[in-house]
Chain A
């Protein structure tokens, strides 16, 4: 009798544990390696905020709905400390040790370049909303996707804007930090400047660790370009503005590939941020919407409610990437734990996807780049980022020429 009781108890325990394991697996575990500290720490935190925003919204509705059943999402982030090799290492850890169901991309082309190679090896589709260097798309990868366009194209709006400026600027200087994304942004500036008849009279790349910009900008000032095009991240953009003011360098316009759209830029530089033009791939006034986030403007306002700040376009792109993955999962009926054959199907579905989101249409090309994105240029006017180009989507006319520092 005692043996029978013991047997029943063991059987109950096994059933209980098995059901526990089964319950524990009833959610999507999604991992990503992201720079939360180091040079890109601020930018990486924006991406984390975006994924959390998406995750919380999905979980508030019960989770990702597959065949009538809802599966919550659990986001697992590991700090790669802004070191690309660490991103690869932690992406591998997430896949092989933590055995996550799905992978998302972190911030920065260098990190994502490394991490996506690991994801490709293990056949994990990786959607990034914060990496756009052309080289990411030239590797023949099938599992890498980006809701952003290519870096060289991202700055197109910042150059094409000269078409609506009067008097039209004739010359430009290009400077940029010598890392994957910003160096390619500088290539983009060159390409579109040539198309717009802008003569580039100076071009220079510098290390991202450069502490003092004054002497470098001094020689640019000496050449007196109409426009200063900067291949930048947030810190580079902030340093450039500080240095320009210190050496009293006032071209007719200054544009940045990235940085001014991050709220810290205006918050820290206050009035010195005025007139700055920046590349963007999204603006809240654009007429886009989806069932999860609502309209672009609703996304913008809800984001503000959650974080007391408005989102940057990279955050919008990251959230849209997570949403694109969610829609594909729902369509394919994939449930956790996600198996390799499911991930292969997911990859194939993402290649076919043509999805309207609050961020705009997400349509991945054969190389994984989002083919459907407009070249937007925004300008800081009275402390606000306003869409100023293309004209049909503009919220305001561009302020041009930039008011010299001495007259502000």
Chain B
């Protein structure tokens, strides 16, 4: 029983990590319909910002999060404003190719600057955990889970309670009508991309404390974010949390009770079934389907 509870908890915390780095992917897809292939590179950049600030200035990884947020917001805003906006009206294939190209540029530039070294942030408290009646709770993952909930809740509030949020929603629902209502659509796209990049950077910063980071880590994160968003409902922000939790728990229980080798296969079976049977996601609120 203890093993089951521990595995379940691991899965929930893993799901929190997945949700944390997938929420931005869902937001960008939901508003602009762009499947951002370089999403994983934004996770990587967030992680490397934390890593270098920690290494060079010995600043605690959690305190580096504001730097990651600001840097990636600016990065996301500029790249949307001056690059992706140019092809946003073109067929979706063009934006896939463009974001794939940006993925290659970022990954290989990072490789050139930072080399292929594997890195991780090891603090004096790295790996610390709480032991509650035999159940181990790693603090860093718990913090990520908490932040994932805060990010999703914050995004929800932003979208429904602020003017910018309402403009983003209006743009997502019908950009032509939004334009007629005086919304600067391209500006909203840039802000949305900036927000998506910023919340992805938070996840990247936290991931650097318990995962191994390297310049070419991005693509696997993009693929996983895609799975999470499909499971939770494409374009439905709270769906990232649902998708992350389902994926995390299924993978954890598979690794514990069947074989770790099967967790990847089961992930893609889930993705396949969901796309065929319920393309609007587990709670049926995705914009596709």
Contacts and interface: CB of A to CB of B under 8 A. Distances in A.
Contacts of A209: 220, 264
Contacts of A270: 122
A136 interface: no
Interface stretch (B148-156, B168-176, B208-216): B208-216
A272 B6 contact: no
A117 B210 CA distance: 39
Interface stretch (B75-83, B110-118, B182-190, B279-287): B110-118
A2 interface: no
A235 B212 contact: yes
Nearest to B127: A245
B119 interface: yes
A214 B142 CA distance: 14
B91 interface: no
Contact of B264 (A37, A210, A216): A210
B7 to A, nearest CB: 5
Contacts of B85: none
Interface string B204-230: 000000111010100010001000000
Interface string B114-154: 01111110100011010100001010110000000000000
Contacts of A207: 260-261, 264
A381 interface: no
A264 B119 contact: yes
Contact of A45 (B10, B116, B140, B263): B116
B138 A42 contact: no
Given A246-B138, A248-B136, A218 B10 contact: yes
B256 A246 contact: no
A58 B277 CA distance: 65
Nearest to A234: B118
Interface string A204-241: 11110111111110110010000000000011001100
A268 B253 CA distance: 30
Contacts of B7: 215, 218
Contacts of B252: 212, 214-215
B11 interface: yes
Given A41-B216, A212-B14, A247-B136, A264 B6 contact: no
Interface in A326-347: none
Nearest to B115: A45
Interface residues of B, number: 41
Nearest to B138: A246
A215 B261 contact: no
A269 B251 contact: no
Nearest to B257: A219
Contact of B116 (A41, A214, A239, A246): A41
B131 A215 contact: no
Interface in A188-210: 204-207, 209-210
Contacts of B116: 36-38, 41-42, 44-45
B259 interface: yes
B114 to A, nearest CB: 11
A187 to B, nearest CB: 16
Nearest to A219: B256
Given A218-B6, A235-B118, A247-B138, A242 B261 contact: no
Contacts of B251: 212, 215
B256 A238 contact: no
A16 interface: no
Contact of A41 (B111, B119, B136): B111
B159 interface: no
Contacts of A37: 108, 111, 116, 216
Contact of A242 (B212, B214, B224): B212
A403 to B, nearest CB: 14
B3 A42 contact: no
Nearest to A245: B127
Interface string A231-275: 000110011001001111000000000000000100011111000
A206 B131 CA distance: 27
Interface string A31-72: 000001110011011000000000000000000000000000
Given A41-B214, A218-B3, A268 B261 contact: no
A210 B138 contact: no
B51 to A, nearest CB: 10
A214 to B, nearest CB: 5
Given A218-B3, A264-B119, A248 B255 contact: no
Contacts of A242: 120, 126-127, 210-212
A165 B108 CA distance: 46
B100 to A, nearest CB: 16
A216 B258 CA distance: 9
A400 to B, nearest CB: 21
A178 interface: yes
Interface in A80-98: none
A242 B118 CA distance: 13
A213 B119 CA distance: 17
Nearest to A178: B261
Given A219-B255, A219-B256, A270-B122, 7 more contacts: A41-B214, A42-B117, A206-B261, A212-B255, A215-B252, A219-B257, A247-B136
The 3 lowest CB-CB distance pairs between A and B, nearest first, are A41-B116, A245-B127, A206-B260
8 contacts: A42-B115, A45-B115, A210-B260, A210-B264, A214-B252, A215-B11, A246-B210, A268-B212
